[in-house]
């Protein structure tokens, strides 16, 4: 790590601070369009009327929270940043900033089409995040030293998995069917097997194992 | 403290920065839904018409401010962070971000039911914050070295007390009775006694005493 | 400066970061309530209709900007923070967060009463800021070493002056009379004389002179 | 770089953090005024109705993103800050914070006059940013050591170019003509030639070349 200049480390630092601010604003703005109903009688009626909004808020808050955790985990593995990563990260943040809008769409309409748009946006954020990590780790040589298999593992495990899990959880809630939960179980099972294999073959570093 | 890696310290640092941003946004958004009345004559009439909104703003600002101070004080005693703390902290922030909504409810309705929802939310934030500290100090081994009795003392004094005080103060203001203030006096008296006992038995470190 | 613990420096750092976030949000929210008029013909008509809003925006942006600079300058002279400063700083931020509301009041009404409320708020922010600095420097022993006369000079020059200048400038613009500008000239003249006297008597440190 | 005090470096650090927060809020607020249409049938109809808003959002997000990158690149070349830079930077941020308003104007009206206002604001931000860098590098002696020709190159390349590119891109999209794209090609070609000449004459440092 002796070949990183102060300026490159500073670049990464500022990129992370900026991203954190956008995450924090997006997560807090989720609640700002929610207003109390005009007429309500008692706490139970209030929650009854606001049920859809509060549930949509909780789901979106969880989505942004999960992506923040994923962002923190992937970017903590970078050593520096460059202009391409700036742009890829901005694309991800630009999609993330649309989540309050998609959340409003969801609670107002609640239709299958609205759910489709919502899940599509969540997936798009996940893909944009995965592209940024993929570039940083595989093409841009911005990550700390680690075997290529681990870079791909992080791509799947840390960057793509959250979006997949969000989509499947959401699918289960919306359709009130167990298919989403089943999908989650399958994905987690498969990932556990791959994890065992990687550890067994010694290709996953201790740091990665500890973090799991 | 020699066993903390740079990455773990960095994790805590980023967690705190993100929380600060959410606190700052929540506290500033409290005012954004307040608008001046359409018709008013003179400054006295203006303040008369806005009295409820400004009082609700002041109370909520104080609540967020107190929780920010509490957050700063508890997290300054941590040495590192982990994924579980990320999630527990996010839950607390997710409740905190609902405070502007509850404040709007309060000034629009002003009913006992609205006050109940408001106090309930303030208490829930306090509980979520206490759970995060309790996990970090007692289960997650994330805090700096201190005796267990001090960890519990911080749990009660720093994490739970603000929520309790907020609830009781608010109760007094809403009900216009002295019971809330009496409750605060009792709590502070009891805490003072416990503090004396702990200091007398040498179980509270000098740092904690100085901070009180 | 050898007697400050890491924790105390960290406390000040977090206090400043939190304040910066509130300043940044308040300054950006100033524009959010401004919406384009429904009907307009050509750029000149658009600016004509939005003139009051844009002028109120510019004034408020300048006010928040000046207080940010003042905050940065005073707090850069502190070495540490404590719980009392937390609270005094929060009071100042709580008043600052009301500025978008007062700005809206100003452009909607434009009456002398609205201007009075606005100038009153700007002055209150300045006073709260001066109280925070006064406590930190004179009572709380939080500042870096400097002579008492310099602490008082900073109180007047850095903390109180911006509010005074804002008030006077605003007075001039609103009343369309030269009294405000005259007041500014008098204040600056008086301060210049005091400055000369202090420098002449060797009671103002080189650092302070350089910053002026 | 041995002549910079801790306080001057701290000043620059706080200036950058504050700017980052304003950038982050402005970029996130771009989406907050967008609401879903009241009646829509299917995803295609939804996107059809929201087409103008989403395109205006994408353009404005790109504009703020490009200015953030430009800000990061220019300010990473500074060693310290002073009060004048504070003010020049605030002017730039004050214009930037108006971008959500101009974006709303754009999608609501879509007229040539609205586009003119929008492009005018984008250009004004670029000019204000260029003035800040010009002052810092050429007059204020705040930049790290570099030849004057490089300072001017950065002025044109890093500070002015983004605004120019934004304006030209936007012109192309609005007028649906190729003149904007042609302009971009000419500007990039000219800049490439100047770059070659500077490198050939050894007047551009290796750091600058690497960053391009």
pLDDT one-digit tens code per residue, A124-143: 898 899 899 999 988 888 88
pLDDT category of residue A22 using cuts at 50, 70 and 90: very high
Dihedral sign, Cα of residue A106, residue A107, residue A108, residue A109: positive
pLDDT at position B206: 45
Give the per-residue SS3 of B132-143. HHHHHHHHCCCE
What is the average per-residue pLDDT within B175-203? 71
Q: Under an 8 A CB cutoff, do D68 and A17 touch?
A: no
Phi and psi at residue C143, to the nearest 5°: -85, 165
What is the average per-residue pLDDT within A180-198? 73
Q: Under an 8 A CB cutoff, do B31 and C98 touch?
A: yes
What is the average per-residue pLDDT within B42-67? 87
pLDDT category of residue A206 using cuts at 50, 70 and 90: very low
pLDDT at position D186: 78
Q: Under an 8 A CB cutoff, do B28 and C97 touch?
A: yes
Contact of D172 with D180, CB cutoff 8 Å: yes
Query: How many Cβ atoms sit within 10 Å of the Cβ of residue B111?
Result: 15
pLDDT of A157 > 80? The answer is no
In angstroms, rounded to a whole number, what is the distance separating the alpha carbons of residues C114 and B122? 34
In angstroms, rounded to a whole number, what is the distance separating the alpha carbons of residues C57 and D200? 48
CA atoms within 13 A on the CB side of B60: 32
Q: Spell out the alpha helix ranges (H) of D76-156.
A: 83-96, 99-109, 112-134, 148-154
pLDDT of D157 > 90? The answer is no
Selecting from D7, D10, D97 the residue whose C-beta is nearest the C-beta of C31 gives D97
pLDDT at position A90: 94
pLDDT category of residue D143 using cuts at 50, 70 and 90: confident
Q: Which of A85-89, C193-197, D190-194 is modeled with the greatest confidence? A: A85-89
Q: Under an 8 A CB cutoff, do D97 and C21 touch?
A: no
In angstroms, rounded to a whole number, what is the distance separating the alpha carbons of residues C66 and C190? 20
Dihedral-angle region of residue A42 (phi above 0 means left; psi in -120 to 50 means alpha; beta otherwise): left
Q: Under an 8 A CB cutoff, do B21 and A24 touch?
A: yes
Q: Spell out the alpha helix ranges (H) of C135-160.
A: 148-154
Q: Which residues of A touch D68 (CB under 8 A)?
A: 18, 90
pLDDT of A161 > 60? The answer is yes
Helices A161-175 and A179-200: angle between axes, nearest 10 degrees = 160
Cα distance between the two ends of chain A: 24
* Mean pLDDT (chain B, rounded): 81
* Residue owning tokens 């931020």: C93
Q: Which residues of C touch D108 (CB under 8 A)?
A: 36
pLDDT at position A92: 94
Q: Under an 8 A CB cutoff, do B24 and C22 touch?
A: yes
Distance of residue B105 Cα from the nearest chain A Cα, in angstroms: 6
Instruction: Look at B43-47, C32-36, D193-197 and tell me which has the smallest mean pLDDT.
Output: D193-197
Instruction: Look at B30-34, B202-206, D197-201 and tell me which has the smallest mean pLDDT.
Output: B202-206
pLDDT category of residue A38 using cuts at 50, 70 and 90: confident
Q: Under an 8 A CB cutoff, do D46 and A86 touch?
A: no
Nearest alpha carbon to residue D15 among D93, D127, D67:
D93
Q: Which residues of D touch C61 (CB under 8 A)?
A: 90, 94, 97
Contact of A154 with A74, CB cutoff 8 Å: yes
pLDDT category of residue D123 using cuts at 50, 70 and 90: confident
Q: Which residue has the higher pLDDT, B199 or B11?
A: B11
At D98 the three-state DSSP class reads coil
Q: Which residue has the higher pLDDT, D117 or B173?
A: D117
> In sequence order, which residues have a C-beta less than 8 Å from that of residue A52 and are 6 or more positions away?
A107, A110
pLDDT at position A3: 57
Task: Count Cβ atoms within 10 A of the Cβ of residue C186 and give its class: 0-12 exposed, 13-18 middle, 19 or more buried.
Answer: exposed
Distance of residue C86 Cα from the nearest chain D Cα, in angstroms: 19
Alpha-carbon separation of residue B64 from B112, C30, C50, C91, C191 (angstroms) = 22, 21, 35, 12, 39
**Among residues of chain B, what percentage have pLDDT more than 90?**
17
Phi and psi at residue D38, to the nearest 5°: -70, -40
pLDDT of A1 > 50? The answer is no
Chains in contact with A, counting 3 or more C-beta pairs less than 8 Å apart as contact: B, D
pLDDT category of residue C2 using cuts at 50, 70 and 90: very low
What is the average per-residue pLDDT within C116-139? 88
What is the average per-residue pLDDT within B148-169? 74
* Residue owning tokens 């942006």: C61
> In this predicted complex, what is the ipTM?
0.80
Instruction: Look at B173-187, C26-40, D96-110 and tell me which has the smallest mean pLDDT.
Output: B173-187
pLDDT at position A33: 79
Selecting from A21, A29, A94 the residue whose C-beta is nearest the C-beta of D32 gives A29
Rg of chain C (C-alpha set): 19
pLDDT at position C98: 93
pLDDT at position D202: 61
Query: How many Cβ atoms sit within 10 Å of the Cβ of residue B194?
Result: 15
pLDDT category of residue A91 using cuts at 50, 70 and 90: very high
Query: How many Cβ atoms sit within 10 Å of the Cβ of residue A193?
Result: 10
pLDDT category of residue C21 using cuts at 50, 70 and 90: very high
pLDDT category of residue B155 using cuts at 50, 70 and 90: confident
Q: What share of chain B is helix, strand, coil (3-state, %, to 5)?
A: 80, 0, 20
In angstroms, rounded to a whole number, what is the distance separating the alpha carbons of residues A139 and A133? 10
pLDDT category of residue A201 using cuts at 50, 70 and 90: low
pLDDT at position B135: 92
pLDDT in tens, D79-106: 889 889 999 999 999 999 999 998 888 8
Q: Which of A112-116, D28-32, D182-186 is modeled with the greatest confidence? A: D28-32
pLDDT in tens, D102-120: 888 888 877 778 888 888 8
Selecting from D31, D42, D57 the residue whose C-beta is nearest the C-beta of A100 gives D31
DSSP-assigned letter for residue C144: P
Strand partners, B78: B143
Selecting from B10, B22, B86 the residue whose C-beta is nearest the C-beta of A69 gives B86
* Mean pLDDT (chain C, rounded): 81
Chain C residue set in contact with D, beta carbons under 8 Å: 16-17, 20-21, 23-25, 27-32, 34-36, 40, 42-43, 46, 57-58, 61, 65, 68-69, 72, 76, 211
Got the DSSP string for D149-191?
Answer: HHHHHHIIIIIIHHHHHHHHHHHHHHHTSSHHHHHHHHHHHHH
Cα distance between the two ends of chain B: 24
In angstroms, rounded to a whole number, what is the distance separating the alpha carbons of residues D146 and D143? 8
Probe site for chain A from D1, D27, D161, D211 (most A CB atoms < 10 A):
D27
Task: Count Cβ atoms within 10 A of the Cβ of residue C112 and give its class: 0-12 exposed, 13-18 middle, 19 or more buried.
Answer: exposed
What is the average per-residue pLDDT within A150-176? 72
CA atoms within 13 A on the CB side of A81: 25
What is the average per-residue pLDDT within D150-168? 74
pLDDT at position C90: 94
């Amino acid at each position: 790590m002796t070949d990183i200049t102060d300026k490159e480390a500073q670049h990464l630092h500022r990129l992370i601070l900026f991203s954190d601010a956008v995450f924090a604003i997006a997560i807090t703005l989720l609640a700002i369009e929610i207003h109390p109903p005009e007429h309500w009688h008692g706490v139970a009626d209030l929650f009854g009327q606001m049920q859809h909004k509060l549930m949509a808020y909780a789901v979106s808050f969880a989505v942004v929270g999960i992506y923040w955790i994923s962002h923190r985990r992937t970017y903590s593995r970078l050593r520096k940043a460059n202009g391409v990563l700036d742009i890829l990260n901005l694309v991800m943040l630009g999609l993330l900033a649309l989540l309050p809008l998609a959340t409003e769409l969801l609670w107002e309409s609640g239709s299958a089409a609205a759910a489709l748009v919502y899940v599509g946006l969540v997936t798009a954020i996940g893909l944009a995040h995965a592209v940024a990590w993929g570039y940083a780790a595989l093409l841009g040589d911005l990550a700390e030293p680690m075997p290529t298999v681990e870079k791909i593992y992080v791509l799947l495990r840390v960057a793509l998995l959250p979006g997949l899990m969000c989509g499947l959880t959401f699918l289960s809630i919306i359709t009130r069917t167990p298919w989403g939960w089943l999908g989650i179980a399958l994905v987690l099972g498969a990932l556990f097997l791959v994890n065992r294999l990687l550890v067994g073959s010694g290709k996953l570093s201790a740091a990665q194992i500890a973090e799991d």
